[in-house]
Chains A and B, each alone.
Chain A
Amino acid sequence: MNLLELKNICVDIPDEGDNKAILKDISIEFESGKIYVITGPNGGGKSTFAKCIMGIMPQNSGNVFLDGEDISDLNIVERNKKGIGYAFQSPAKFKGLKVGRFLELARNDSGKSITHTLKDVGLNPDEYLNRSIDNSFSGGELKRIELASILIQDLKLALFDEPEAGIDLWSFKLLIKTFKRLNRFTDTCIVIISHQERIMDMADEIVVIDKGEIAQMTYKNKLLSILNNNDLEKCQMTCCEGGEYCGERG
């Protein structure tokens, strides 16, 4: 059985007295233990797609199923309790809230070690546990704390919105390593919004979202080749199913 199933999902936002469709009748399935990369042009609906799964931007119509259970009406907190987590592209700062306390809150009852998790994201616990998550943190440090807030949970589905944005090369290498380890040692389904070729290279499946619609690719190498040729339009018009490249869509 699929871990997550989205059926006919539509998300609209109010736009000058009218409704603008951000996601248009999206249906897709995700399996446990796999890495999915969501890519596509800016403004195409990628972040909305991930926020819809987390419940941050709930669907206007359609259904979301997790382990066969309809979670369409559940809010963000309830969806997290069911095992969904979200790493933000621009992590929030919390003046006065210390790293240790933040991770303790995120840990809930997973029983995972805060110090080990900090080490896993390349931060020295002695230096960071009692630091407030405020303006003194660099973008890269904030991203690492955000990553730690995901790793310390026991998640069925982890959503990452552009995890590579705003981090240095060293942090990027650590990020790749972290995804690989998470994928190797857990059954967590990893969904990453990214434009990065090296992140796409880890994917079991790559999903292209543009203009609120989906073009699902299972033939990763083909997609990468198309992207390398900058032929995104062709990429958006193609669809592969069953692991085989099947050419342009009608």
Chain B
Amino acid sequence: MAKEVDQAGKSLLEVIADTGKIPEAMNVRLNGHSCDRKVSENIDICNKKEKPGINVTIKPNTIDETVSIPVVITEGGINDIVYNTIDVGAGSNITISAGCGIHNDSDGCSEHDGIHEFIIRENAKVKYVENHYGEGNGSGDKILNPKTKIEVMENAIAELDMTQIEGVDSTIRDTEIILHENARIVVTERLMTSGNQRADSNIDVNVEGDGASAQIISKSVAKGNSIQNFNMTLTGNSKCKGHIQCDSIIMDNAKVASTPKIFAANTEAELIHEATVGRIANEQLTKLMTIGITEEEAENIIIEGFLE
């Protein structure tokens, strides 16, 4: 079992865990085991006793600190399940990075199921960045099945930025969100699949508190023979605002199903859903070609902009 991150692992870390600054606290999980850990005065990380995973505890009023908890898998035939609990203290303002990268050169399947539970306490503000990425020359599948449960307490704000744009053969993403009074969440999900890849994303938002708001933005590009399936549910049980926007670009022989659902259980709930699936518009390609860009480059520029 590798105890140190090798070159392939370091490259993965650059892709999945670069937040632009050195984190005050971190825990790197390599091939199913913690291999590197750093804690700060305000951020503590310790192993769970009953199951694999860590508890990250952020003291109240921790300001401008970053905690990074990336997972790297560089061996084939690994099925790594990890349970992480992150408790963000009241009044904090922090960034959490929790990506997962798989490098699989073997014929065996590599899988990581990251089960994250967040509690974001009163008046805290959290930016959560999650990058998922797969690479390698083996025929073994690279599978990522993240489950994320977030409870945002009174007056707290959460911004989730979740990206998976390359190399993951199969993913089922389950995200469950509960919002309390005056809490706010913005979720931006970006997905790109190609070849025979498959991605399912299920986001379930329950707005329980008055004055709370949720904005869910999902952007995806499906290429080749890939299949994507989106299920977005927004439930308003209070005087709240919610908006789901789910846009997909479809190319080649890909298939995309998008099911946004809004459920209002309060007359003061204002909920909106929008979903679009369509190919790249010809007029976009033609315009870019008239400024000297080839059709293939134009497609890449349009996709890059769309996922931005």
- The chain A residues found within 8 Å of chain B, CB to CB, are 54, 56, 75-77, 80-81, 85-86, 88, 90-98, 101, 105-106, 108, 132, 149, 153
Contact = CB atoms under 8 A, between A and B. Distances in A.
Contact of B290 (A54, A94, A97, A132): A54
B290 A92 contact: no
A88 B307 contact: no
Given A97-B305, A101-B305, A105-B301, A92 B289 contact: no
Contacts of A85: 290-291
Nearest to A133: B305
A76 B286 contact: yes
Contacts of A81: 292
Contacts of B293: 77, 105
9 contacts: A77-B289, A77-B293, A77-B294, A90-B283, A92-B284, A92-B286, A94-B284, A108-B291, A132-B308
A118 to B, nearest CB: 16
Nearest to A109: B292
Nearest to A87: B290
Count chain B CB atoms within 10 A of each CB in A54, A91, A97 and give the residue with the most.
A97
B281 interface: yes
A96 B281 CA distance: 14
A88 to B, nearest CB: 6
Given A92-B283, A97-B302, 8 more contacts: A56-B290, A76-B290, A77-B295, A91-B287, A92-B286, A97-B301, A101-B305, A132-B308
Contact of A153 (B283, B288, B291, B308): B291
Contact of B283 (A75, A80, A88, A95): A88
B306 interface: yes
A95 B305 contact: yes
Contacts of A105: 288, 291, 293, 301
A108 B290 contact: no
B231 to A, nearest CB: 23
Interface residues of B, number: 21
Contacts, number: 60
Contact of A96 (B286, B291, B308): B308
Contacts of B290: 54, 56, 76, 80, 85-86
B291 A95 contact: no
A149 B281 contact: no
Contact of A92 (B281, B294, B295, B306): B281
A149 B301 contact: no
A77 B286 CA distance: 9
A105 B120 CA distance: 43
Contacts of A106: 291-292
Contacts of A80: 289-292
A221 B307 CA distance: 52
A223 B33 CA distance: 83
Nearest to B281: A92
A88 B286 CA distance: 10
A108 B292 contact: yes
A132 to B, nearest CB: 7
A58 to B, nearest CB: 13
Contacts of A54: 290
B92 to A, nearest CB: 29
A92 B287 contact: yes
A106 B286 CA distance: 13
Interface string B266-303: 00000000000000010110111111111100000110
B283 A94 contact: no
Contacts of A76: 286, 289-290
A200 B265 CA distance: 61
Count chain A CB atoms within 10 A of each CB in B291, B294, B295 and give the residue with the most.
B291
Contact of A94 (B286, B289, B295, B305): B305
A216 B256 CA distance: 52
Contacts of A97: 301-302, 305, 308
A175 B51 CA distance: 69
Contacts of B283: 88, 90, 92
Count chain A CB atoms within 10 A of each CB in B284, B292, B307 and give the residue with the most.
B292
